[in-house]
Amino acid sequence: MTNGPNVLSARGDEWKWRRKALVPYFQPRAVNPAIFPHLKDLAARNADAMLTLAESGKEMDVDKETGLLTLDVICLYLFGYPTAELDVSDLGEGGARNMSAKSQTPQLLLPVIKSTKWAQRNVDAVRGKLQSFINKAIEKSTLLSAADIERLGFTTITHNLPGHDTTAHTFTFLLGHLAQDPKLQESLVDEIHRAFGPSPIDWSKLCISDFNQLKFATCVIRENLRLHAVAPGGLLTCVKDSVIAGIPIPAGTDLIGNYYGIARDPEYFPDPEAFKPERWALSEDSVFQELTGDVSDMTTKTEAALPELSFALGAHACLGRNLALIEMRVLLAMIIERVVIRPSANTTLEAIWVLLVTPKNGMNLSFSAHHG
Ligand code: HEM
C-alpha cells in the first residue's frame, strides 16, 4: 500500500485513468473552501513561531519549517489531520518529510542499484510509520476512502516530492528574496493594509476571494516561481509529427523542455536575473485564475501574458497548481504583515538541482516584529 503505482510513475492508459480520478480532489471548488481555514491557522502559527524566535534573537532554517508546513497543508486537506501529529522523531533528519521516498522498495529498482548499500537498507521502521499514518488517515478522513488512498497512491503524492517539497522550496526562496529586500516587504505590507485595513487585521473575517485584491503579492509569487522553478525542465514526448522552430520532430521523439531557459529568455524577460514582480502586472488582469478556475483548463493555458511554465502545461501539467498558489498567497500575506524578515550572515539564494531545485545551504533567516 505504501509504494504502489501512482500518477507520477504510471504511463499511457494507466496514467490516464489515475489522472482523471485525481482531478476532482484538486479542483479549486473542492480545495479552496476546505483548505482556507487550515491555511489561516498554519500561517498564524508560523508567524507566532517567528516572533517567538525574534524575542530570543535566534535564527530559523526556514527550508525545514516550510517543508513541515506544506506537508501539514496537504495532509489536513486530504486526510483530515496533520502529519505533525505523527511521532517521527526516530526517523532521523527530515522526519515525516519524504517518508514515502525513504520507504521505497529496492525490488522496484534496476539490478545495479539493488546491490548498493542504500537499496539494501532496512526500510521497516519508516514503512511502519507510513502505514500507521495511512491507517489513521483511513479512520479520520472524510474526503478519502481507504480504497482511494490505496488505489490512487495519495501517500506518494503527499509524502513524496510533489505534494509538499515543491511548494516548500518555492516558498523558502520567496522568503529568502524578501529577507534581502526590505523595500519589497514594505510594498507588500502597504498593499495588504490598503486591501484589509491597518493592523491588527482580523483575518477570521476574510474569505478566500478577498485575497484576490493582493495583485502585487500575486506578481511577487509569480516572479519568484519564474526565478526559482523547482522543476527547471520537463521530459516530453512528441505525440504527432510536428515542426518546432523550423525543425521537423517525428512523433515518438523524446524532448526535454528547457523551462529554466524560457524563464530567463531576455526577449520575454528583459534583465532576466533581476527580481522584478512588476513585469507580471503587464498582463491585462494579474489575478490568478486559481481561485475559480477548472483544473482541466489550467493544463492548457495560463492567464499570464508572459510564458509561465513553472507548473508545466499540457496533459501532465501540475495538478496541485491551484493549491500551491493559494497556499503561498495566504501564507505570504499573513506572515509578512506581522513579521519583518532579515537575512543571516550566510543567507544566499544559491540553488542545487537534485530531483528538485532546492536552496543549496538551507535558508537561515532572522525575524522581528514590525516597528519592534
Ligand atoms: C510551487 C509548487 C509546485 C510546483 C512548482 C510544481 C511543478 C510541477 C511540474 C513542473 C509538474 C510537471 C512535471 C512533468 O512535466 O512531468 C508537476 C506535476 C505534478 N504535480 Fe506539481 N508542482 C507544485 C506543487 C504541487 C502540489 C502542492 C501538488 C499536490 C498536492 C502537486 C502534484 C503534482 C502531480 C500529481 C503532478 C503529476 C501530474 C501528472 O503527471 O499527470 N504539485 N508539478
**Predicted local distance difference test score (pLDDT) of residue 140:** 76
Per DSSP, which regions of 79-191 are E strands?
none
Name every residue whose Cβ is closer than 8 Å to that of residue 100 and which is 6 or more positions away in sequence.
2, 3, 130, 155, 156, 158, 159, 160
* Structural domain includes residue 236: no
Q: Lowest-confidence range among 92-101, 278-287, 289-298?
A: 92-101
* Structural domain includes residue 323: yes
Instruction: Tell me the residue type at 44.
Output: A
* Structural domain includes residue 203: yes
* Structural domain includes residue 59: yes
Give distance in angstroms: CA of 343 to centre of ligand 1: 29
Q: What is the mean pLDDT of residues 192-204?
A: 96
**Closest Cα to atom 11 of ligand 1:** 318
Number of structural domains, the chain?
Answer: 1
Q: CATH number of the domain that 216 lies in?
A: 1.10.630.10
Q: How far apart are CA 42 and CA 128, in angstroms?
A: 27
* Structural domain includes residue 289: yes
**Predicted local distance difference test score (pLDDT) of residue 72:** 87
* Structural domain includes residue 103: no
**Predicted local distance difference test score (pLDDT) of residue 345:** 86
What does each C-alpha distance from 221 to 108, 165, 226, 258 come to in angstroms?
Answer: 38, 16, 9, 21
**Predicted local distance difference test score (pLDDT) of residue 88:** 60
**Closest Cα to atom 31 of ligand 1:** 320
Name every residue whose Cβ is closer than 8 Å to that of residue 212 and which is 6 or more positions away in sequence.
287, 291
Which atom belonging to ligand 1 lies closest to the Cα atom of 325?
A: 1
**Closest Cα to atom 1 of ligand 1:** 167
Of 138 and 96, the one with more pLDDT: 138
**Predicted local distance difference test score (pLDDT) of residue 91:** 59
Of residues 202, 200, 263, 192, the one with CA closest to residue 230:
263
* Structural domain includes residue 343: yes
Helix (H, G, I), strand (E, B) or coil at 316: coil
| Ligand 1 cavity residues, CB under 6 Å | 7-8, 19, 74, 157, 162-163, 166-167, 170, 230-231, 234, 310-312, 316, 318-320, 323-324
Residue 211: domain span: 30-78+161-231+264-369
Which atom belonging to ligand 1 lies closest to the Cα atom of 309?
A: 10
- State the residue for C-alpha cell 479552496: 32
Give distance in angstroms: CA of 317 to centre of ligand 1: 7
Give distance in angstroms: CA of 165 to centre of ligand 1: 10
pLDDT digits (tens, 9 = 90+) for 206-215: 999 899 889 8
pLDDT digits (tens, 9 = 90+) for 115-134: 777 667 777 777 777 777 77
Q: How far apart are CA 162 and CA 184, in angstroms?
A: 29
Q: How far apart are CA 64 and CA 60, in angstroms?
A: 9
Grid coordinates representing 63 are 527550508
* Structural domain includes residue 335: yes
Q: Residue 302: how many CB atoms within 10 A of its CB?
A: 21
Name every residue whose Cβ is closer than 8 Å to that of residue 304 and which is 6 or more positions away in sequence.
222, 280, 283, 286
CA 236, distance to chain mean position in Å, is 22
